[in-house]
């Protein structure tokens, strides 16, 4: 349809103005909701060709297209906006085509292999609120890219080494008395996190005592026995000390077990795991190779750097004077490892915006090394998530962990559902499943409906509302559709000709937009575009529902057509919800 409309406008320019336009120059947009019509051609950019006023140009082009295309019912011109309305016959035909499709939405013509790396937790504490947005973004982007037809590899680079890990290990040795997740009745990641907090508490107490004895704050830090012991443990780990390795493996395995539970509840997964303990030395040889090639330079102290001043940045350390790696060294090597493993066209990093500089440097360094995958490095930057003070209790009083947040969402969903009287007639198990579906659906929708680059202020109570731009409103619309389809006595098949109401045309025209939305969401890696389309789907359906009787419509043909509208709405909501990682309840 869009292609035919473009071709007709192209012909209009040739016939009316003796001017050849390429199809790429003919842009068709969705009509502004305040105007009548479904598709719009903006005349303003072509006034130099028409040499007429915007309204006159629009009238001439509109009349030409109207005469040429049977699918055009009418057109109108608002200033320089030429708006086309399509015939009822066209919309009914399109609805029938949708009803026959096995999947909704188009697919990319040239699929790519794309690795999406997300989560990247530390093994010294549980997943927290920031990880929630990270995981939901990474998983949703992977879902969108995969549904659009790309081959996607979901990767998780786990930060399982370093001084922060040794702090948990040291505190466990000192204070745990052999506690295990089973003996303490605690998830493994929370158990290890407990001792990370214990180290911090003991370290602060030690600092206070040293300062009280007359030392300055810097002197106290330098003379800290706890920190010296943690550094010694890291040295032993790097040397492969058997006792330290046993403890390290034990605590890490507890953490992995805890992460698996959190990931499963969150509804995210991974195809491949990389671990920092296995990758942190990989970039060293690449840096030395770059030094030999003259890409990098060595300072007098023996450290190796890259000069990025011509690229608008500064000089960046790549290898310390003692030959040890920095984070950039590790990321250079890991990028090479990932490419050698999968030979992907694009490597996407889902990482907060505080690392924008880091990934600019990574891409530039890989480009200077002339790596074939360098241009495919893409940092998907996102903003912070914050909670209103006092709205959610935390274990440590500072960071909200993911398990607490998901539990709070479940409890809030339960409270709101009971308040609304929507918990009647369901078993206890069914109700618990509903509360989980609503709670996590609200969380996912709230965090994903916002453009990734923006900061989010998240209040769990505001996210669960049966009205408004919430996941709960969308899920309720899906349950409404499911109920209607369950109670229908007619087959969900297209009838012959029927007269469409305005709200029905609006809903069908909205379905038409999905191909473009899916393409844009995939190209821009933006779940927010899917979320907005999903909300508009629910809004349009409820507008139709409030204006048109479905099961008690005047004729069987109308009943059938409106059941088809309901079925496609349910499929569209389920499809878009799946792209956001949301489940849809059949009953509410």
Residues 380-389: what's their mean pLDDT? Answer: 84
Please tell me the distance from the alpha carbon of residue 481 to that of residue 577, in angstroms, as a whole number.
15
Q: What is the pLDDT of residue 322?
A: 87
Residues 25-47: what's their mean pLDDT? Answer: 92
Residues 193-217: what's their mean pLDDT? Answer: 93
Please tell me the distance from the alpha carbon of residue 550 to that of residue 565, in angstroms, as a whole number.
10
Q: What is the pLDDT of residue 147?
A: 98
Three-state DSSP at 378 gives strand
Would the pLDDT of 239 be above 60?
Answer: yes
Please tell me the distance from the alpha carbon of residue 342 to that of residue 562, in angstroms, as a whole number.
47
Return mean pLDDT, the chain: 93
| DSSP state for residue 316 in the 8-state scheme | E
Residue 191: which residues within 8 A CB-CB, separation 6 or more? 179, 180, 181, 184, 254, 258
CB contact at 8 A, 40 and 84: yes
Please tell me the distance from the alpha carbon of residue 296 to that of residue 369, in angstroms, as a whole number.
9
Residues 172-180: what's their mean pLDDT? Answer: 96
Would the pLDDT of 251 be above 90?
Answer: yes
DSSP 251-275: HHHHHHHHHHHHHHHHT---SEEEE
Please tell me the distance from the alpha carbon of residue 372 to that of residue 462, in angstroms, as a whole number.
47
Q: What is the pLDDT of residue 57?
A: 96
Residues 9-29: what's their mean pLDDT? Answer: 94
Three-state DSSP at 548 gives coil
Handedness of CA 160, 166, 170, 173 (dihedral sign): positive
In this structure, the number of other CB atoms found within 10 A of the CB of residue 414 comes to 19
CB contact at 8 A, 314 and 264: no
Would the pLDDT of 393 be above 80?
Answer: no
Kind of pairing, strands 39-42 and 81-86? antiparallel
CB contact at 8 A, 492 and 485: yes
CB contact at 8 A, 334 and 279: yes
Reference 503, options 539, 551, 532; nearest CA is 539
Second CATH level (architecture) for the domain 2-86: 2-Layer Sandwich (3.30)
Would the pLDDT of 69 be above 60?
Answer: yes
- Tell me the pLDDT tens digit for each residue of 311-324: 999 999 999 998 88
Please tell me the distance from the alpha carbon of residue 464 to that of residue 456, in angstroms, as a whole number.
16
Please tell me the distance from the alpha carbon of residue 100 to that of residue 534, in angstroms, as a whole number.
21
Q: What is the pLDDT of residue 359?
A: 96
Q: What is the pLDDT of residue 396?
A: 47
Would the pLDDT of 120 be above 70?
Answer: yes
Q: What is the pLDDT of residue 389?
A: 65
Would the pLDDT of 504 be above 80?
Answer: yes
Would the pLDDT of 395 be above 60?
Answer: no
110-119, 311-320, 393-402, 572-581: which has the minimum mean pLDDT? 393-402
| DSSP state for residue 500 in the 8-state scheme | P
Q: What is the pLDDT of residue 41?
A: 96
Helices H / strands E in the chain, number of each: 23, 14
Q: What is the pLDDT of residue 143?
A: 98
Instruction: Note the pTM of the prediction, 2 decimals.
Output: 0.92
pLDDT class for 392, splitting at 50, 70, 90? very low
Q: What is the pLDDT of residue 583?
A: 97
Tokens of 123: 């093994």
Would the pLDDT of 397 be above 50?
Answer: no
Would the pLDDT of 62 be above 90?
Answer: yes
347 versus 281: which is more confidently predicted? 347
């Amino acid at each position: 349809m869009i292609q035919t409309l473009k071709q007709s406008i192209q012909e209009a320019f040739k016939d009316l103005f003796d001017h050849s336009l390429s199809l790429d120059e003919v842009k068709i947009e969705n009509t502004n909701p305040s105007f009548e019509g479904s598709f719009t051609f903006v005349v303003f950019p072509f006034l130099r060709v028409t040499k007429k006023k915007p309204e006159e140009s629009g009238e001439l082009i509109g009349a030409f297209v109207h005469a040429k295309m049977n699918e055009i019912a009418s057109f109108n011109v608002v200033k320089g906006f030429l708006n086309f309305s399509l015939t009822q016959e066209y919309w009914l035909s399109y609805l029938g085509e949708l009803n026959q499709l096995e999947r909704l939405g188009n697919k990319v013509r040239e699929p790519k292999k794309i690795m999406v790396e997300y989560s990247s937790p530390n093994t010294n504490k549980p997943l927290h609120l920031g990880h929630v947005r990270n995981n939901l973004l990474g998983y949703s982007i992977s879902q969108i890219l995969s549904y659009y037809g790309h081959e996607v590899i979901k990767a998780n680079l786990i930060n399982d080494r370093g001084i922060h890990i040794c702090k948990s290990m040291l505190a466990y040795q000192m204070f745990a008395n052999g506690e295990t997740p089973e003996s303490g009745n605690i998830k493994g990641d929370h158990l290890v996190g407990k001792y990370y907090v214990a180290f911090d508490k003991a370290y602060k107490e030690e600092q206070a005592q040293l300062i009280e004895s007359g030392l300055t704050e810097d002197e106290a830090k330098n003379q800290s026995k706890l920190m010296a012991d943690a550094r010694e443990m890291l040295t032993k780990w790097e040397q492969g000390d058997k006792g330290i390795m046993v403890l390290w493996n034990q605590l890490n395995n507890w953490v992995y077990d805890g992460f698996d539970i959190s990931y499963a509840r969150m509804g995210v997964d991974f195809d491949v795991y990389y671990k920092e303990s296995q990758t942190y030395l990989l970039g060293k040889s690449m840096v030395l190779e770059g030094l030999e090639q003259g890409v990098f330079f060595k300072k007098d102290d023996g450290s190796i750097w890259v000069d990025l001043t011509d690229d608008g940045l500064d000089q960046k350390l790549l290898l310390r004077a003692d030959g040890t790696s920095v984070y950039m060294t590790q990321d250079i090597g890991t990028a090479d490892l990932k490419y050698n493993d999968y030979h992907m066209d694009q490597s996407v990093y889902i990482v907060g915006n505080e690392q924008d500089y880091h990934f600019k440097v990574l891409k530039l360094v890989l480009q200077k090394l002339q790596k074939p995958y360098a241009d495919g490095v893409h940092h998907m930057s996102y903003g912070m998530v914050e909670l209103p003070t006092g709205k959610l209790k935390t274990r440590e009083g500072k960071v909200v962990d993911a398990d607490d947040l998901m539990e709070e969402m479940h409890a809030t969903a339960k409270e709101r559902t009971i308040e609304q009287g929507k918990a009647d007639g369901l078993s206890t198990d069914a109700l618990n499943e509903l509360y989980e579906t609503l709670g996590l659906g609200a969380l996912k929708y709230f965090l994903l409906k916002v453009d990734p680059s923006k900061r989010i202020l998240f209040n769990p109570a505001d996210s669960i509302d049966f009205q408004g731009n919430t996941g709960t409103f969308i899920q309720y619309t899906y349950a409404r559709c499911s109920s209607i389809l369950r109670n229908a006595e007619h087959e969900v098949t297209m009838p012959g000709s029927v007269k469409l109401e305005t709200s029905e045309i609006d809903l069908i025209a909205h379905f038409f937009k999905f191909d473009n939305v899916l393409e844009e969401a995939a190209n821009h890696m933006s779940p927010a575009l899917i979320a907005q389309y999903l909300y508009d789907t629910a809004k349009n359906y409820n507008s139709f529902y409030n204006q048109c009787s479905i099961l008690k419509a005047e004729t069987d043909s109308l009943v059938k057509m409106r059941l088809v509208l309901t079925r496609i709405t349910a499929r569209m909501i389920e499809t878009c919800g799946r792209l956001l990682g949301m489940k849809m309840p059949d009953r509410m």
